[in-house]
Amino acid sequence: MIIIVLISLSIFIQLTGLWILFRKLHILEKFIHKPNTVNNKNNPYNSVQWKDELKRTVELQCMEVRNAVQKQTVDIHKREIELSPKELSISENQLNKIYSFEQLMILNNFWEAYHTYIHKYWLTKNGEIKGVFQGTKVDPSSEISLLIGQSKLLTTQMNHWLKKIMEN
């Protein structure tokens, strides 16, 4: 009888040991085969929602710039230019993941045109934003009239580019 109890106890201990071993192996297997969070499709940074958020961020920053330029079509609003973004806050690597080549080229044109506009019409020789423009709005050859005219042209072009960027 004692032998049967000892054999039963031995079998029970071995089965318990095997169960614990399999349990640990199962946990270890999950750890070893844990998905790579950088390239995982379930990674929130690769999700459609995340890409949409990045697109909206780009679009909002472009709209801020466009609106700052558009304000100059009626009168001079120096503060709008001062507060407008000077570049996108999204990295080039991220942009490459969310936009087509054509859209990237349009974004590049958009920001180059804006920088050219700022440098040509808004910056002084010291690199500061102008506060005073020569002439009057009614004189077509005056500095202020030229700025207003260029602001109208750039706003129209930016509207076109933004439509293309937002198509997809």
- Structural domain contains residue 25: no
The total number of structural domains in the chain stands at: 1
pTM across the whole model:
0.72
Asked which of 6-15, 41-50, 154-163 is least confident by mean pLDDT, the reply is: 6-15
pLDDT digits (tens, 9 = 90+) for 3-41: 776 676 566 676 666 556 556 555 545 544 444 444 555
- Structural domain contains residue 32: no
Q: What is the pLDDT of residue 6?
A: 60
Full residue range of the structural domain in which residue 112 is found = 49-165
- Structural domain contains residue 148: yes
75 touches 152 (CB < 8 A)? no
SS3 129: strand
Question: Residue 22, class by beta-carbon neighbours within 10 Å (0-12 exposed, 13-18 middle, 19+ buried)?
Answer: exposed
pLDDT digits (tens, 9 = 90+) for 48-101: 889 999 999 999 999 999 999 999 999 999 999 999 999 999 999 999 999 999
pLDDT digits (tens, 9 = 90+) for 88-145: 999 999 999 999 999 999 999 999 999 999 999 999 999 999 989 999 888 999 999 9
- Structural domain contains residue 24: no
Q: What is the pLDDT of residue 76?
A: 93
